[in-house]
């Protein structure tokens, strides 16, 4: 892992890991926490998830009870809002991630809708807020919590997950349970989830009202001199793709063609196609897509590109989602360093 910060732990997955499988191994999955005060152990026998607020029957659910409920399973990419922030120009404050603040896993758990139905949401409910076991390090600092609109929380896809790639969650990734919000950035994927509160008014807490706000513009794009633009809470992901078969960190012997492979994601929908270019984006040729693991998963692609000369050659991949959204050539910019989604370039030197 690439160590970004030790306290709280911020660990980044090296790109070579994504070349092995579309599923990211649990022990190589990126890690991000906001506050350093994270439990280093959780007692699975006394742990409870409290469902309360604007409900008919408040619940206190043990892990045994949760494991006895109907289960759902889904592959989904967990990507930090600030993934690739280190590439922003001009630079912005925050963790200087490269592309490894993301991972894809097969999640298993209980649909949030099921838990809410058991508790019985009362008329007038608007949103659902999620709280966790980690604590702020100084008094008065805002405890981490996020919320979703009620309809989203009840869409049947949002999941309270207890398993990741067939194993219990690693502590650093939220043991014993975390929220999975398919297609949405991982700021909503609350780890060590122990509190589900149904609200009858909007969540005006720090983590919804102040943090993780993006410009309300296409691709959350503004210019560094823009001021006073409207903002919204960050939400759906956008299509992205990366070459994983070659890093461009050392020269290679010239060859007339080069096989390239990598991973793509559609954002909040599936991947419809991936195109490859070895001439700076002037011409594109389609890649072959690997098995479809569902709309929220990474999808493998492979293809061959011509290498027309020696020297530095820019290799590019461009994903089109099943919703028809195409990765743009120009990078977006915003002061939070959120939501990068442009075509990425891997420059390989052929000698």
Ligand X SMILES: Nc1nc2c(c(=O)[nH]1)N[C@H]1C(S)=C(S)[C@@H](COP(=O)(O)O)O[C@H]1N2
Provide the binding-site residues for Mo ion, judged by CB under 5 A: 32, 80, 187
| 79-98 binders of ligand X (CB under 6 A) | 80
Distance CA 29, CA 12 (A): 8
Least Å distance, CB 106 to Mo ion, is 21
User: At its nearest, how many Å lie between ligand X and the CB of residue 36?
Assistant: 10
Stretch that binds ligand X, among 27-35, 55-63, 262-270, 297-305 (CB under 6 A): 27-35
| The one segment of 48-56, 184-192, 255-263, 328-336 that binds ligand X by CB under 6 A | 184-192
Q: 32-49 as b/e, with b when 16 or more CB fall inside 10 Å?
A: bbbbeebeeebeeeebeb
Cβ at position 11, least distance to ligand X in Å: 8
How far is residue 217's CA from residue 228's CA, in Å, rounded to a whole number? 12
Contact status, residue 273 vs residue 317, Cβ threshold 8 Å = no
Q: Does 339 bind ligand X (CB under 6 A)?
A: no
Reference 126, options 107, 102, 152; nearest CA is 152
Residue nearest to Mo ion (CB): 80
CB of 167 to ligand X, least distance (A): 14
Please say which residue, 30 or 162, places its beta carbon nearer to ligand X: 30
Residue 31 binding partner per list ligand X, Mo ion, none, with a CB distance cut-off of 5 to 8 Å that depends on partner kind: ligand X
**Considering the rule CB under 6 A, would residue 187 count as an interface residue with ligand X?**
yes
Cβ proximity to Mo ion: between 187 and 317 the closer is 187
**Binding partner at 23 among Mo ion, ligand X, none, C-beta below 5 to 8 Å by kind:** none
Partner in contact with 173, chosen from Mo ion, ligand X, none, beta carbon below 5 to 8 Å by kind: ligand X
Task: Report the nearest approach of Mo ion to the CB of residue 34 (Å).
Answer: 8
| Cβ-Cβ contacts under 8 Å for 282 (sequence gap 6 or more) | none
Q: Does 164 bind ligand X (CB under 6 A)?
A: no
Q: Hey, which residues does 240 pair with through a beta bridge?
A: 265
Of the residues 132, 148, 264, 316, which one makes contact with ligand X according to CB under 6 A: 132
- Looking at the Cβ atoms of 80 and 264, the one nearer to ligand X is 80
If one asks whether residue 77 binds ligand X (CB under 6 A), the answer comes out as: no
- Is 189 one of the binding residues for ligand X (CB under 6 A)? yes
- Using CB under 6 A as the binding rule, whether residue 297 contacts ligand X is answered as no
Give the CB-nearest residue to ligand X: 132
Return the residue of 31, 181, 271, 348 that touches ligand X, per CB under 6 A.
31
Query: With binding defined as CB under 6 A, does residue 33 bind ligand X?
Result: yes
Instruction: Residue 191: name its binding partner from Mo ion, ligand X, none (Cβ under 5 to 8 Å by kind).
Output: ligand X
CA dihedral 100, 104, 109, 112 (to 10 degrees): 70
Interface with ligand X by CB under 6 A: which residues? Answer: 29-34, 78, 80, 132, 134, 144, 173-174, 186-187, 189-192
């Amino acid at each position: 892992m690439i160590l970004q910060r030790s306290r709280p732990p911020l660990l980044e997955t090296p790109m070579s890991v994504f070349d092995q499988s579309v599923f990211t191994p649990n022990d190589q999955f990126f890690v991000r926490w906001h506050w350093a005060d994270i439990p280093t152990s959780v007692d699975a026998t006394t742990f409870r998830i409290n469902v309360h607020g604007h409900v008919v029957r408040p619940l206190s659910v043990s892990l045994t009870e949760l494991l006895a409920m109907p289960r759902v399973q889904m592959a989904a990419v967990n990507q930090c809002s600030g993934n690739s922030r280190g590439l922003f120009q001009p630079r912005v404050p925050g963790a200087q991630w490269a592309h490894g603040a993301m991972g894809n896993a097969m999640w298993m758990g209980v649909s949030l809708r099921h838990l809410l139905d058991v508790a019985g949401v009362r008329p007038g409910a608007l949103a659902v807020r999620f709280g966790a076991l980690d604590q702020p390090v100084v008094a008065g600092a805002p405890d981490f919590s996020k919320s979703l609109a009620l309809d989203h929380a009840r869409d049947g896809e949002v999941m309270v997950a207890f398993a990741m790639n067939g194993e219990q969650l690693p502590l650093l990734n939220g043991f014993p349970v975390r929220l999975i919000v398919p297609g949405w950035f991982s700021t909503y994927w609350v780890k060590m989830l122990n509190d589900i509160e149904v609200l009858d008014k909007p969540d005006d807490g720090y983590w919804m009202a102040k943090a993780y706000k993006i410009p309300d513009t296409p691709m959350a794009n503004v210019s560094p001199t823009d001021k006073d633009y409207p903002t919204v809470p960050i939400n759906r992901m956008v299509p992205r793709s990366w070459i994983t078969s070659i890093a461009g960190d050392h020269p290679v012997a010239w060859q007339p063609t080069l096989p390239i492979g990598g991973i793509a994601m559609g954002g909040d929908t599936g991947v419809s196609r991936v195109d490859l270019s070895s001439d700076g984006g002037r011409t594109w040729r389609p890649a072959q897509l690997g098995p479809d693991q569902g709309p929220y998963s990474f999808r493998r692609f492979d293809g061959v590109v011509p290498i027309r000369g020696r020297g530095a050659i820019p290799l590019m991949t461009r994903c089109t989602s099943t919703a028809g959204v195409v990765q743009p050539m120009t990078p977006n910019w915003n002061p939070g360093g959120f939501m990068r989604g442009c075509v990425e370039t891997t420059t390989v030197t052929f000698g």
